[in-house]
Structure 1
Amino acid sequence: MSKRAAIYCRISRDAEQEGLGVARQEEDCRALVAREGWTLVEPPYVDNDISASTLSKKARPAYDAMLAAARDGGVDVIVAYANSRLTRRPLELEDLITLHEQHGTLLHTVASGDDDLSTASGRMVARIKASVDAHEAEVTAERLRRAFLQKAQRGAPNQGTRPFGWGDDKVALHPKEATLLRRAIQDVIDGVPTREVARRWNAAGVTTTRGKAWNHTAVRQVLRNPRLAGWRTHQKQVARDASGERVRGVWAPMVDQATFDALQAALDGRRPRARVGGQRYLLSGIARCGVCGGGMHGYRTSRGAHAYACGSEGLGHSVTVAGVQTDALIAALVERRLADVDLAEEPVAAAEWEGEARLRAIPGQVAELMAAFNSGVLSGAVTFPQVQALEAEQAALEKARPKAPPRPVVATADAFPALDVDRQRAVVDTLVQAVVVAKAPHRGARWTPDRVEVVWR
């Protein structure tokens, strides 16, 4: 009876997902099966764009399925282009040896020869090959890690998919996506949920750069990326140069640092601590649509004034209201309210968080390690694990850092008009639950105060 042969094909990197490498392997393996006169088990088992080294954390579903088939008696021979295509992990070779001992499964390759796993000498040769393959993979990984770090320290764009908002060169801004992204950034700062941003983009036919639909998680990932403010990241952290300083990317930033910080505060559920770019309005995120209850965002009109609009576009209604008149009305009502409410007491300043000193110290330690590496005192094998450990510690501390408290709300009726917009917003937010704006009776209707209702806290 003819032996049943299963072909296994694998390649570590296939960025374009074209499958050309595994296709070549399959062609050569099919020729070997035909020469031996074995019966081919269809279809071949293929793990494309997946590493088999000890450093990889990805599962290999096709490999696992093939071993399961062999254990169930459906495969007599495993055929691969080379031993390294099967595995680069010595422990996995031991699984294949056990498979042969328990089920008689044979291993044959096109380029690496055939190891007789039934003899001590054959197993020794197979183990030597596996050890060499593992060493080769680890050396390659070390070289790639150093090359990726060097690229990051030059500020060059990351590998992989084009980032949303930038063109194919990952440097110049994408005209349409940049416009959408900048509006979304300001909307989120003003209180619009990321789910609503995802809904708008999907309704407009805009996809991710991988061609998928948006959801709030995907939107948040884009808005969390330090690339927006021009920072180069490496291993999910802002990259640092040889002196320990953060690295700027070579691309055009989407927003300035103040706007990015305000965006992160909004995503964290914190009130931004500073006005951003003169684009914040008194009632952004406080005003609510009287039809759907959604947040209203402020925008500048063609006449140079500003207005508030419902953020739930496309739901069968449109609610807008003039900003200047509405702001003036609310300001007058708040001043009147302040006459009866005491917001003049300064709270006691909070003590510095205990982890703050450690956060300040880490960049200096990174700089010392990089200086020792660049001067030849420390090797890369010693330096970079320590740098990565420090970066991980920094990320953990930044995550554990208590959210910054809102600025103290200190105001009197007399002082309120002279406060900047952010301070006025803090006062309004303290006193007002919502400002509800009713739909205008018809298009072009003049502003009237009866469209505006204040819900006090």
Structure 2
Amino acid sequence: MREDPSDAPKRAAIYARISADSEGERLGVMRQEEDCRARAKREGLEVVDLYVDNDISASTKSKKARPEFERMMSDARAHRVDVILAYSNSRLTRRPREMEDLIEHHKRYGTRFLTVVSGDDDLSTADGRMVARIKGNVDTAEAERIGERLRRHKRQMAERGLYRGGMRPYGFEKDGTTIRADEARVVQKMSKAVLAGRTLASLAKELNQKGSTTSTGREWTYARLRDVLVRPRNAGLLSRGRADRDPKDFEIVGQASWKAIVSEEEWRAVRDLLTDPSRRAQDGNETRWLGSGIYTCGVRTDDGGACGSPLRPAPYGGTEKRGHEKRYLYRCTATAHLTISSEPTDEHVRAVVAEMVRDPRVVASLVPADLDLTEDRERRTVLLARLEQTERDYDADLIDARRFKAKSEKITAELQAVDARLAQRLRRSTASPVLGAADPGAAFLAAPVDVQRALLRSLLRVEVRPAIKGAAWTSDRLRITRPGQS
């Protein structure tokens, strides 16, 4: 983009950009810089600054900011540079709207735009601006064609069940299809632990303590572990989108070419647990309290029932800064009309659970003797086949849109019911390691708090009754029952 070079200014900025540099070696932008410096030397320009946006696209689909581009344009508006030099027009922008911004910029500030290979357009004339706009539209179309080819290639690979590339997925080798045994065992163990009621925060902490890292060598966090466990690839499935971020755009494409690490039923049960909004709201921090959200308020209401609101810990007493021990009460979350000291309450409930899990009959009630999922699995296969046939009938105009919608919704509803039933049975079958110990009671008392909480939820309901005014703590305030008891 160039007008009459007479009396041309001499201060030049070089802009270099490349869309993809996954290895971070910057070789592409280095080549652009070399060619631009050679052009500047031929033109007698003084290069006063270099602006580099590496591994950032300039297409209409890109959502990444280009900080160096913005800095360069700010410097040009401040008249710190008079010429902007790039390898090609497409390095500056592939967006028609940005091309209009460059034309307007030239009109207001007089900045010249030169390129190594795209030619120089005179933005001070109508014909020059027309040529610049045509080149911009050609660059945009080429970027969109590249995107279409890449999407079509990935879709074809998905339809064939092939790996579509990217960062090495945890549990697999670099090829994305060969299972890495040690990492696969972690996925299997963590999946079962989640189904058993363990929290992601506690599991991530345990993995870090054992020296385990992610596929990129980073420490585990709640979010990183969750991202690994909700992936359909764990069950040997290909998908589009992410169920944990935008369920509407998420779709299972089909079976992958690699073997599954966990069964599809187990993966679906884990995914449903970890994408439950209520779990995400309360599972971000390490668990400290046995009864938080589990114990309920037993204050009687006007209709004769119990308040039933969950209890949460609340501090009371002196502050740590003043050398006083901070203590905690469990408090009703509804109106704070009931409190109870947390420490003796938790100690008593732990003792009750420890004694219960020493009873073989209790263990037997928690661990099903056998887990036969055959009937539900076969029903699921039949329903999927019906759904596919319904779609084919609609495509062939054998049924109208109203009939297609009604049939699809009915089949989908039954599918969801089957999946929920499978998930529930899998969660029951994934018993805590506590139950398999020689002394389940001692194992329970020695287990992490989130393990204890999971078992407590399965075993008991704890209702806290109001205290007698002036009386000390007593276990009589705790109404402890088994699920289903009145």
Give TM-score scaled by structure 2 length: 0.58
Deviations 1:55-76 (A, max 9, x none): 2222222222211221122221
1:263 to 2:270 alignment? yes
Q: In structure 1, how many angstroms separate the alpha carbons of the residues matched to 2:130 and 2:136?
A: 10
Which runs of structure 2 are paired with 1:46-195 in the superposition (5 Å)? 46-195=52-201
Instruction: Give the AA of the match of 1:329.
Output: D
Q: In structure 2, how many angstroms separate the alpha carbons of the residues matched to 1:204 and 1:125?
A: 62
The equivalent residue for 2:208 is 202
1:5 to 2:35 alignment? no
1:232 to 2:262 alignment? no
DSSP 3-state at the match of 1:232? strand
Tell me how far 1:50 sits from its aligned partner: 2.0
Tell me how far 1:108 sits from its aligned partner: 0.5
Deviations 1:109-144 (A, max 9, x none): 011111111111111111111111111112222222
The equivalent residue for 2:456 is none
Tell me how far 1:26 sits from its aligned partner: 1.2
Tell me how far 1:366 sits from its aligned partner: 6.5
Q: 2:158 touches 2:253 (CA, 8 Å); kept in 1? A: no
Tell me how far 1:19 sits from its aligned partner: 1.7
1:39 to 2:46 alignment? yes
DSSP 3-state at the match of 1:46? strand
Deviations 1:332-356 (A, max 9, x none): 6999xxxxxxxxxxxxxxxxxxxxx
Tell me how far 1:257 sits from its aligned partner: 1.2
Which runs of structure 2 are paired with 1:418-433 in the superposition (5 Å)? 422=428
DSSP 3-state at the match of 1:8? strand
Q: In structure 1, how many angstroms separate the alpha carbons of the residues matched to 2:426 and 2:88?
A: 70
Q: 2:356 touches 2:362 (CA, 8 Å); kept in 1? A: no
Alpha carbons of structure 1 residues 180 and 114: separation in structure 2 relative to 1, 3 Å: same
Q: In structure 2, how many angstroms separate the alpha carbons of the residues matched to 1:29 and 1:74?
A: 19
Alpha carbons of structure 1 residues 366 and 102: separation in structure 2 relative to 1, 3 Å: farther
Alpha carbons of structure 1 residues 424 and 14: separation in structure 2 relative to 1, 3 Å: closer
Structure 1's unaligned 5+ residue stretches are: 239-243, 272-288, 296-320, 336-358, 373-389, 410-418, 426-434, 441-451
Q: In structure 1, how many angstroms separate the alpha carbons of the residues matched to 2:393 and 2:65?
A: 37
Q: 2:196 touches 2:430 (CA, 8 Å); kept in 1? A: no
Tell me how far 1:364 sits from its aligned partner: 6.0
Tell me how far 1:197 sits from its aligned partner: 2.1
The equivalent residue for 2:476 is none
Alpha carbons of structure 1 residues 166 and 360: separation in structure 2 relative to 1, 3 Å: same
Tell me how far 1:422 sits from its aligned partner: 3.5
Q: 2:86 touches 2:115 (CA, 8 Å); kept in 1? A: yes
Q: In structure 2, how many angstroms separate the alpha carbons of the residues matched to 1:209 and 1:402?
A: 35
The equivalent residue for 2:37 is 30
DSSP 3-state at the match of 1:438? helix
Match of 1:247 among 247, 254, 260: 254
Q: 1:15 touches 1:160 (CA, 8 Å); kept in 2? A: no
Q: 2:14 touches 2:86 (CA, 8 Å); kept in 1? A: yes
Tell me how far 1:34 sits from its aligned partner: 2.4
Tell me how far 1:41 sits from its aligned partner: 2.7
Tell me how far 1:177 sits from its aligned partner: 1.3
Aligned residue-pair number = 331
Alpha carbons of structure 1 residues 371 and 57: separation in structure 2 relative to 1, 3 Å: farther
The equivalent residue for 2:305 is none
Alpha carbons of structure 1 residues 254 and 63: separation in structure 2 relative to 1, 3 Å: same
Q: In structure 2, how many angstroms separate the alpha carbons of the residues matched to 1:334 and 1:179?
A: 27
Instruction: Give the AA of the match of 1:33.
Output: A
Q: 1:270 touches 1:406 (CA, 8 Å); kept in 2? A: no
Alpha carbons of structure 1 residues 369 and 211: separation in structure 2 relative to 1, 3 Å: farther
DSSP 3-state at the match of 2:84? strand
Q: In structure 2, how many angstroms separate the alpha carbons of the residues matched to 1:172 and 1:294?
A: 43
The equivalent residue for 2:359 is 329
Deviations 1:52-103 (A, max 9, x none): 1222222222222211221122221111100011111111011001111111
Tell me how far 1:404 sits from its aligned partner: 8.5
Tell me how far 1:15 sits from its aligned partner: 2.7
Q: In structure 2, how many angstroms separate the alpha carbons of the residues matched to 1:46 and 1:371?
A: 53
Q: In structure 1, how many angstroms separate the alpha carbons of the residues matched to 2:276 and 2:197?
A: 9
Instruction: Give the AA of the match of 2:216.
Output: R
Which runs of structure 2 are paired with 1:389-400 in the superposition (5 Å)? none
Q: In structure 2, how many angstroms separate the alpha carbons of the residues matched to 1:257 and 1:18?
A: 40
Tell me how far 1:270 sits from its aligned partner: 10
Q: In structure 2, how many angstroms separate the alpha carbons of the residues matched to 1:185 and 1:84?
A: 47
Deviations 1:118-177 (A, max 9, x none): 111111111111111111112222222211110111111122101011111211211221
Q: 1:14 touches 1:49 (CA, 8 Å); kept in 2? A: yes
Alpha carbons of structure 1 residues 363 and 53: separation in structure 2 relative to 1, 3 Å: farther
Instruction: Give the AA of the match of 1:148.
Output: K
RMSD of Structure 2 on Structure 1 (CA): 4.6
Give TM-score scaled by structure 1 length: 0.61
Structure 2's unaligned 5+ residue stretches are: 1-7, 245-250, 279-286, 293-350, 366-383, 398-404, 432-440, 448-458, 463-479, 482-486
Tell me how far 1:17 sits from its aligned partner: 2.5
Tell me how far 1:189 sits from its aligned partner: 0.9
The equivalent residue for 1:222 is 228
DSSP 3-state at the match of 1:213? coil
Q: In structure 2, how many angstroms separate the alpha carbons of the residues matched to 1:406 and 1:362?
A: 19
Q: In structure 1, how many angstroms separate the alpha carbons of the residues matched to 2:22 and 2:167?
A: 9
Q: Which has the higher helix share?
A: 2
Which runs of structure 2 are paired with 1:399-410 in the superposition (5 Å)? none
